Structure 1
Amino acid sequence: MKKFYTFLVVILLIILSRSFLFNFFFSYKIIDERKVLKLEQKVSNKNLKSVEDIIHDELNVTSSLLSFTFNKCDSDPNKLLESKKANCIGYSAFLAASIDNKFYSESLNNEWRAEHKVGEIYFLGYNIHPLFKTKFFKDHDFVVIENRKTNEIIAVDPALYDYFKISKIKLK
């Protein structure tokens, strides 16, 4: 019975520290950028002033509206509202557009901006993309939120958030 409780405690610790562990082992390197498209409608009506709150709320909205697919799908955030299916490109396109939309509605767009980035994921400093043969894994999309005045950067991966609730990623 003692082994069982020890096992449960270890599992609980892993779950609670998943963000720390993920960011200890993995980092993202920016290799390209995509244009942030405009959302034609608001997807969140909450009035939030904190940038951290906006990011967290929009990650939750993105996660609740979209479901992940490996299939080819649209990356226009307006069309994703209809199809509800997205890969990492669509998730990031939608999140960047919804955060930008929120920054504009909260009058934060002169100070903050969301950028749709393309990158590679590194495990302990090693690029993992060459390990995969399929074109689907040649790169990975994510979102970088940047303060135009202070250059503060917050990086998020909405697909990762949807599955593991890891809200921030580490840039290389």
Structure 2
Amino acid sequence: MFNRLKKFLGWAAVALILIVIGYFVTVNGLSYEVSGYRPYNEQLDKAHLREMSNRFDDAYAANEQDLRRFALRNTALELDFAMRKNAMKNPNSILDSKIGHCMMYSYVMASTYNQLAKLKKIKGSCRVAYGHVFLYNVNLHQFFSSTFFRDHDFCVISDDSGVYVADAILFDYLLIDDIRLRK
């Protein structure tokens, strides 16, 4: 009995190590390419902005890095992914519905980041971008025929410390918060 348990635990450890290695290999190979930017200037209403501001103040220092993290993580926390096409752009309606696709996640993240940056006097801007996802130079969109997957929306954040890509859906499902931007 003990030998079986020992053998099982050995195989379980090997499987876990392979899963962890596979995860990091995949994360390391991800990159996003911007095809364009969506015009977006929607604002959070006072109630949603106050709630976001209070959450930010409770858990983060008022700096660029923490604002990037907060906007990404809070968006992922607030929304659940739904593979439905709709044209909802208002971040308040999106937050109230609790569901969204990549464009809606990006709208909420951009509104949260930009309004908190202004409120907290942090230099930086967040733009809603659309483009393609690559895994080791292979465009993943070529494997989907649905128009839903013709491109992907994500955020591009520019501040004094650099330019960053943030994808709240990717963070929501895989806890990936650092994505390379393809030139």
TM bucket, shorter chain: 0.7 to 0.9
AA of the residue aligned to 1:170: R
Match of 1:38 among 29, 38, 43: 43
What TM-score do the two structures reach when normalised by structure 2?
Answer: 0.81
Deviation at 1:4, TM superposition (A): 3.1
For residues 105-139 of structure 1, give each alpha carbon's deviation from its aligned partner in whole angstroms, at most 9, with x where no partner exists.
1111xx21111110101121121212111001100
Aligned length: 167
1:1-172 correspondence runs (5 A):
1-2=6-7, 4-8=9-13, 10-11=15-16, 14-15=19-20, 18=23, 20-36=24-40, 37-41=42-46, 42=49, 43-44=51-52, 45=54, 46-47=56-57, 48-73=61-86, 74-108=88-122, 111-147=123-159, 152-172=162-182
Change (3 A) 1:14 1:51: farther
- Take 2:63 and 2:26, find their aligned partners in 1: how far apart are those partners? 25
Give yes or no for contact 1:160–1:166 (8 Å, CA) kept in 2.
Answer: yes
Higher helix share: 2
- Shift of the alpha carbon at 1:144? 1.0
**Structure 2 CA distance for partners of 1:9 and 1:100, relative to 1, 3 Å:** farther
Q: Work out the CA distance in 1 between the residues paired with 2:10 and 2:141.
A: 38
8 Å Cα contact 1:31-1:120 kept in structure 2: yes
- 1:13, 1:58 → 2: CA distance? 32
Which deviates more, 98-107 or 32-41? 32-41
- Runs of at least 5 residues in structure 1 that lack an aligned partner in the other structure: none
Q: Shift of the alpha carbon at 1:84?
A: 1.2
Over the matched positions of the two proteins, sequence identity in percent amounts to 26
